[in-house]
Amino acid sequence: MENSTKPTVVVIGNGMVGYKFCERLLAKSTDFNLIVFGEEPRRAYDRVHLSEYFSGKTAEDLSMSSLEWYEENGIQLHLSDPVLEINRQNKTIHSQKGITQSYDYLVLATGSSAFVPNIPGVEKEGVFVYRTIEDLDMMKAHAKKAKKGAVIGGGLLGLEAAKALIDLGIEETHVIEFAPRLMPRQIDSAGSTMLESKLKALGLQIHLNKSTSSINGEDAISNLQFADDTKMELDMLVISAGIRPRDEIAKLAGLEVGSRGGIQVNEKLQTSDSNIFAIGECALHNGMIYGLVAPGYEMAEVVAANLCGGDKSFNGFDMSTKLKLIGVDVASFGDPFVTEPDGRTIVFEDTHKGIYKRINLTTDGKYLLGGILIGDADAYNILLQTVNNKIVLPPNPEDLILGSRGGESDAGTGVMSLPDDALICSCEAVTKGAICSAVNEQNCTTIDGMKKCTKAGTGCGGCVPLVKDLIAGTMKANGVYVKNVVCEHFDYSRQELLSLIKIDGIHTYDEVLTKYGKGDGCEVCKPVVASILASLWNDLILKQDTIQDSNDRFLANIQKGGTYSVVPRIAGGEITPDKLIAIGTVGKKYNLYTKITGGQRIDLFGAHLSDLPDIWEELIDAGFESGHAYGKSLRTVKSCVGSTWCRFGLHDSVSFAIEVEDRYKGLRSPHKLKGGVSGCIRECAEAQSKDFGIIATEKGWNLYVCGNGGSKPQHAQLLATDIDKETCIKYLDRFLMFYVKTADPLTRTATWLNKMEGGMAYLKNVIVNDSLGIGEELEAAMQQHVNTYQCEWKAAIENPEMRKRFNHFVNAPKEKDPTSALVPMREQVKAKEW
């Protein structure tokens, strides 16, 4: 069919939904002339992950396609050229740049704009909306001179905007919400209270029931005036109070719109003109504007299908959502607000861990209606599927949020029990059946492969855990052994790769890749292999610097502002006055911020890259060595003062902690390691929250393993009781080496144990009873580490070639990075915003 005879489809709007319509239409037919007009100066980009623009992603990273994609598919793309007029009688549109284009079908994908309340002063400098990349660029520029910022709006977009202000380095950030709770459309009062407490702990200040009456200042914002006669001093404000459908052009064309905005559409998404369709956030369907991307994608699919002769309808869309807002999991699904007498509610609340879970059931307890998850939303995907597919609940429905107890699991509640038509990826409308078919028929057995096969997981990404489970479940059902490989470049697990490298005595990444891998490697396998090489041979990590994370590459943690932190080892927390003076001298000389850590060490912040070798040299001369704060290795062994000073102490915990830390310092492992030694059961060293913990008893020492703190703390479990120091060291040697040899990359000891078949009983059998007969081998491997240990700082500064790596400018060795600056804070300094 020639172009002249093809029907012409004009799309007004080149956002995510407009782009998705083009993609869906092309997948079904090439029998259309497709012409797109976009108001913005750039191609369609991912607004869902817009906040990542502040975390290092570029506009190109966020782009949904290349310019070549439009050209290859014959799409005429007009950027920075909004359509000003629709002539329905002549079936033409007229653009700002003077283009008059005829159409057979017109698709309005004009999206929405930020709703800006009619507050006096919104036009002032320093007031922004959070909508486009251009908005973010302006925020970036202004944030350099701002210290105190606020967001009007405590909904999804408002909290995303608050995260943006934190990412921009604003010292003090406020969230102002008119309603009595945060996220009023998604979560209930109790969930909001939990979310509020978690956000406050992260440094946000929350103001509820607050109405802004004016934005004050001369040319730029200086303060907000509230209706309750209070004020807030500010120099930056982001308004995120909701969205407003972009229906202006539809109104001018005489199309029907809602009383509160939005272009009226029927179930076919036709407007009051049957040749004009509306999709996405500009469309009003049954009185509803859908502000999520997944419903917009479904609308794009409906229109594309119908233009190609199909008969598809849009019948509303589930508005369940899961997000990680400022590092906090928040999810709501189904009907989150059902109450008596329409349903029953089960609530779990843990104020210590900041977790709130609510599920709503039918009155007979047979089906799940909806729920809310705050702080821990791991079960979101399966709960959503339980609602959408009307799956009968187990006898104890509380197990859905508490986990099954008594060592039993409820059959039929896993992902493989879902019906084939269960919608797994709502963004791309991919069903369970399509994913299983891709595994069976197209051999898609990885997430990347599945994204290419079905596009599942390419939208918001919330379905990825469920997709992984489906891939593994389908392979297992087919009798295929599901192998836990490092990545696509190595067909081995970390454990297998470690064994092969050890057997063949390989010492470099290139040799490993040549012998056991394929391709060029990636950011996943390179650090894994580097860690394995360091664990096996205890060689200087800088010899592997081309495959290391940035912290290992410079033997220091890069910090905000581009400077580095220096953390010397202070074994057991014991330090002499002379060494304290040496640290103070170095801190003053190099203008470093100093802080005592929770692990009984002293951090020195603000070191320029070129100063690192000189700082290390002075610290080494004073008797210090690298604390390995930058590495996946032993960090600290915390201790109390023990029997030498404490009247309750049973044994000398400080001496033992120093002995243990000196033994395992520098041990490279799958993840960081922390230890603790307490001189009595009062547990002042918090040993049971560590990867290994030792507690004094009347008869000796108790050894605990596999605990961790962090966002999901877990107590260590008892491995051995009332043992002497020598036995304790022997068991620790075995335990740590067994972990190094068998754990997956970036897996803490607690997670390693949780996944271990047989759990603690099995681990105890291996370590204490030597059931595998590898005890002596593990001990010998640890002794080899002890015998070959070297301070990485010392090795780096004594090697002239390695020392050169710490010059910021090759041609000016002593010059510092001019973008890394420090500013005063209290009696010290802090990083100037980068």
Q: pLDDT per residue over 212-228, tens digit each?
A: 999 999 999 999 999 99
pLDDT at 554 over 60: yes
Cβ atoms of 168 and 143 within 8 Å: the answer is yes
CA distance 462 to 454: 15
Share of the chain above pLDDT 90, in %: 52
The DSSP result for 208-231, as a single string, is -S--EEEEE-SSB--EEEETTS-E
The two structure tokens encoding residue 44: 């369609």
Which pLDDT band, with edges at 50, 70 and 90, does 718 fall under? Answer: very high
Q: pLDDT per residue over 156-212, tens digit each?
A: 888 888 888 888 888 899 999 999 999 988 899 999 999 998 888 878 899 999 999
Q: Which amino acid is at 114?
A: A
Q: Which of 106-120, 195-209, 819-833 has the lowest mean pLDDT?
A: 819-833
Which has the closest alpha carbon to 279: 256, 301, 259?
Answer: 301
Q: pLDDT per residue over 671-716, tens digit each?
A: 999 999 999 999 999 999 999 999 999 999 999 999 988 767 889 9
Task: Say which DSSP state 668 is in.
Answer: B
What are the φ and ψ backbone dihedral angles of 274, each rounded to 5 degrees?
-65, -15
The better pLDDT of the pair 577, 542 is held by 577
Cβ atoms of 792 and 542 within 8 Å: the answer is yes
pLDDT at 73 over 90: yes
Q: What residues form DSSP beta bridges with 633?
A: 668
Cβ atoms of 554 and 629 within 8 Å: the answer is no
Task: Say which DSSP state 274 is in.
Answer: T
Whole-number Cα distances in Å, 331 to 93, 95, 193: 42, 41, 15
Element (H, E) at 193: helix 189-201
Which pLDDT band, with edges at 50, 70 and 90, does 831 fall under? Answer: confident
Q: pLDDT per residue over 365-415, tens digit each?
A: 999 999 999 988 888 888 988 898 888 888 888 888 876 544 344 433 467
Per the prediction, the chain carries an average pLDDT of: 88
Q: pLDDT per residue over 441-475, tens digit each?
A: 888 888 888 988 898 888 777 788 788 888 888 88
Whole-number Cα distances in Å, 557 to 528, 603, 608, 612: 18, 11, 11, 11
pLDDT at 1 over 50: no
What are the φ and ψ backbone dihedral angles of 665, each rounded to 5 degrees?
-60, 140
Q: To the nearest 10°, the Cα dihedral for 286, 292, 295, 296? A: 100
Predicted local distance difference test score (pLDDT) of residue 242? 85
Angle at 172 between CA 169 and CA 177, to 5 degrees: 115
- Per-residue burial over 111-148, b = 16 or more CB atoms within 10 Å of its CB, e = otherwise: bbbbbbeebebbebebbbbbbbbebbeebeebbeebeb
pLDDT at 72 over 80: yes
The better pLDDT of the pair 110, 542 is held by 110
Predicted local distance difference test score (pLDDT) of residue 257? 96
Q: pLDDT per residue over 610-641, tens digit each?
A: 889 999 999 999 999 999 998 899 999 999 99
Predicted local distance difference test score (pLDDT) of residue 809? 65
Judging by DSSP bridges, how do beta strands 593-596 and 634-639 pair with one another?
unpaired
Q: pLDDT per residue over 512-528, tens digit each?
A: 989 998 887 777 788 88
Element (H, E) at 436: helix 432-442
Predicted local distance difference test score (pLDDT) of residue 407? 39
pLDDT at 421 over 90: no
